[in-house]
Chains A and B, each alone.
Chain A
Amino acid sequence: MNPVDPFEQQLREAFRRVEPPPGLERKILLRIQPRQPRRLPSWFAVAASLVLVVGGSLGVMRWQEHQQRQREAERVRQQLALTLEITSRTLAKADQRLKSIGVERIRLQEVSSWQEY
């Protein structure tokens, strides 16, 4: 009987079947399974929706208020324009009468100061 070659003995040891440690199969399967997407809790979705709705509503309300203020300011401007138009027309008539009696120009501040004497 030939003595076993040490190299051959090493090969036989290396290729000897070894039972896997317990749980190895489970670990490998866990590692290769695709990760399930993390689901947010339902309350988070509700809260986010509420924030969007409330924020959006506030934004729309602010914009509408701004538009309303703009419309109101324009109405005031038009009324001021009407006031100036009527004032100008009235003063022009008075001016015409004054000119007809020879008064060319009056600075109202000076008239006011004269009245104080």
Chain B
Amino acid sequence: MARILILASMLLPLGAQQIDYSLFDRLAEKAKESAVVNLGPEQLSLLAGMQPKEGGKDLADLAKTLKGIQVRSLEFDSPGQYDLNEVRALGAKIKGSGTWMPLVTVKEKGEFTEILIRKGADGKSNGLLILAAEPKELTLVHIDGVGDIASLAKLGGLAGIPEIAGALGGGKKSESKKAPAPKKNDE
């Protein structure tokens, strides 16, 4: 019995890191458009062998750190096709696991966006998760092996990969503002 408990406790952190995509898989049937990306370490390692004309080393180096990419993006015909509370519950479950830490939360009436990072045992960020819910769009991006958007932004422009723009893009000319990210909740 003691051995079973020890084994269960060892497996618990692994389970906590798993994200449940069943909500998105279920809602995909109702969506007008859906995009799904499932890339594992073996597939991502293929990028390391690519030789783009520019930034080949950056792409290869980053490809070595990437462990997995999961994306679910759903677009609906009209609002009300999904229950926002279910999405909030998913976000709460992810945060409740203890491995994900919210960085930025932007809330408005009927929608929200959360950006979370996961810290590894060495204290370094090794995972990025973006959960965005809008009336007609639902998006989840989970990138394992990268802990900050600046690293992702390095991919921009390499081998035909688009650049990440915006204040949160971690671009080269980003300026800092020491004020904390406020939570705006009009609901």
Q: Which residues of A contact B (CB under 8 A)?
A: 69, 72-73, 76-77, 79-88, 90-95, 97-99, 101, 103-112, 114-115
Q: Which of A72, A85, A101, A108 contacts B115 (CB 8 A)?
A: A108
- Judged by DSSP, the binding face of A is helix
Which chain B residues numbered 52 to 83 have a C-beta less than 8 Å away from chain A?
69, 71, 73
**Which residues of chain A come closer than 8 Å to B101, judged between CB atoms?**
112, 115
Give every chain A residue within 8 A of B47 (Cβ-Cβ): 73, 76-77, 80
Q: Are A85 and B162 in contact (CB under 8 A)?
A: yes
Bound complex: CA of A15 vs CA of B171, how far in Å?
Answer: 113
Q: Is the CB of B113 within 8 A of A88?
A: no
Contacts of B164 in A (CB 8 A): 84, 87-88, 91
Other contacts beyond A84-B163, A91-B130, A107-B177: 13, CB < 8 A:
A73-B49, A76-B39, A76-B43, A83-B71, A84-B155, A86-B35, A92-B165, A93-B113, A106-B167, A108-B117, A109-B150, A111-B181, A115-B103
Please give the distance in Å from B133's CB to the nearest CB on chain A. Answer: 10
Q: List 9 A-B contacts (CB under 8 A).
A: A73-B47, A83-B143, A85-B162, A90-B132, A91-B130, A91-B149, A97-B108, A108-B103, A111-B180
Contact of B152 among A69, A87, A109 (CB under 8 A): A87
Cβ-neighbour of A69 out of B49, B148, B163, B177 (below 8 A): B49
B149 neighbours in A (Cβ, 8 Å)? 87, 91, 108
Q: Does B27 contact A (CB under 8 A)?
A: no
